[in-house]
Structure 1
């Protein structure tokens, strides 16, 4: 039932229209259609030890002089997308992207700082307000026309069901099934299109259960109110890892795409420094360790590239 999918959005992670057009007022603790806080329980946020990551002189030497002299790498991120980047219980920026940023900074011999921003307004501010943008940006052709991107992670759409799959659910056979998802996401758009395909084939449409957050969708699948969770792969993996065995993955990751660190086009030296730092983290196993702590080592890539093919 998936042969005629709508064209994949430029990014899996989409800021709501209301946010994209709002004033530039970062809201660290606000919840939107594309956000949720998953740190309600003490075990929901891993502590990743980065003390073993040291500066690599031949890589740090690539950093532009202005940033080297400042000693700090400034990042812009929309802190509303757990587990990539969100707000911790003490108001700090946390998530695997924040740990990756800190690890990259260590390799480059720099401290790092993340400023909260409206997602749609990060890219225009990279190169002026921010040195980089690490905020789950999908690499796509439109963005590559405006900025340089350094690949570091891969994500897509993935699924989870109640442990043991008691309802015998298959991701490619969801006509008439209770599909739990977050409103305002690509998954909702895709499910609407697939539901129409079901009707065209004289089968029942998806019974879509749309929730304000992915955490609510996951909870209801674990509790049996939904048949299957459909979400971005980082979100699904994190939900499974924190579900205490009540959820399990099913099917393959679909519509996979690279995520990239955003750098201004006039900063090729910085882009190369970031690429080398990310590759160092991959080669030494630190990247896998960071991602595994957040339940997302499936997103590990073997090679970091500057401006990879989308």
Structure 2
């Protein structure tokens, strides 16, 4: 069966692991060597040297005085979404968004700090508790009504299979296939809809394997316990990079949409400063270097915009 393009463009962020119930399938203990390697690699955090990024005075001059005087840019992020933003082994905020934030700070001549937050509570707090929200926010019309957003990355839904695709999986023909994903995500919701389409066409529904984390889902695809991984494209790309050849991408990215940095609507000067800093990182090659370190250079965009079209 060939699927019609999904109707929704907004990607839903995964629920924090602590909120997951017993419905999540456990990672299986009898993993192959391939899956063991992937599991070990999934916690690897690349070190990105940002010391070569220097302050750009004409961009730094755009920063509002109260932030300039404070000397620090404060970010709110939900630290449960590797590789964008998550908690490292020492309890620090890590991920490509955190490296991008640090790069922006260096261009603006500011220190940066990220405070952990519940995803749904970040946007209401930007402009008060936080200066910005860099937390894998998809740009959409509803958010643009509430805040200003600066585009910096592009993401969608993508797939991975065991290297060599030994089961001959086609992501457009998944009826009856073992689909691994993280519980509580948009991918789970979408898979349930597509499973119903399979039934209506007289075929078997998806055999959904919903795990507590994307790492568990990817590990079980690499180990042959599932046929295909379905996740946000940054997550899939990161899993492939860390798999040391045990996973490969398959199919096209679906529902591609821009991610944006959130700034309060009454802070146009800060929005322009952030846009200019992001564009500088793009033009200098530092953005590509950061994203490549996290296996996500495919999410590069050429131009940063304030309030781009969703």
1:99 aligned partner: 99
CA shift in 2, pair 1:32/1:302, >3 Å: farther
2:27 aligned partner: none
1:25 aligned partner: none
1:75 aligned partner: 75
2:275 aligned partner: 275
- Large movers: runs of 4+ above 4 Å: 2-6, 30-34, 38-43
> Which 5+ residue runs of structure 2 have no aligned equivalent?
22-37
CA displacement, residues 150-179 of structure 1 (integer Å, 9 cap, x when unaligned)? 000011000000000001111111111111
2:254 aligned partner: 254
Shift of 1:267: 0.1
CA shift in 2, pair 1:95/1:39, >3 Å: farther
> Higher relative contact order at CA 8 Å, sep ≥6: structure 1 or structure 2?
2
User: Is 2:289 the partner of 1:300?
Assistant: no
Number of aligned residue pairs:
294
| Structure-2 separation of matches of 1:146 and 1:153 | 20
Shift of 1:7: 3.2
Is the CA contact 1:32–1:80 (under 8 Å) kept in the aligned structure 2?
no
Alignment partner of 1:275: what SS? Answer: helix
For residues 95-134 of structure 1, the aligned pairs below 5 Å read 95-134=95-134
Is the CA contact 2:159–2:231 (under 8 Å) kept in the aligned structure 1?
yes
| Structure-1 separation of matches of 2:276 and 2:76 | 21
Is the CA contact 2:275–2:306 (under 8 Å) kept in the aligned structure 1?
yes
RMSD: 1.9
| Structure-2 separation of matches of 1:182 and 1:76 | 23
> Which 5+ residue runs of structure 1 have no aligned equivalent?
20-29
Alignment partner of 1:135: what SS? Answer: strand
1:167 aligned partner: 167
2:201 aligned partner: 201
Is the CA contact 1:134–1:262 (under 8 Å) kept in the aligned structure 2?
yes
Shift of 1:4: 4.7
| Structure-2 separation of matches of 1:266 and 1:200 | 50
Shift of 1:50: 0.2
After the TM superposition, which of the residue ranges 2-11 and 141-150 deviates more from structure 2?
Answer: 2-11
Is the CA contact 2:5–2:254 (under 8 Å) kept in the aligned structure 1?
no
| Structure-2 separation of matches of 1:4 and 1:233 | 19
Shift of 1:208: 1.0
CA displacement, residues 155-211 of structure 1 (integer Å, 9 cap, x when unaligned)? 100000000000111111111111111111111111111111111111111111111
1:142 aligned partner: 142
For residues 144-159 of structure 1, the aligned pairs below 5 Å read 144-159=144-159
For residues 41-80 of structure 1, the aligned pairs below 5 Å read 44-80=44-80
| Structure-2 separation of matches of 1:184 and 1:11 | 12
CA shift in 2, pair 1:276/1:194, >3 Å: same
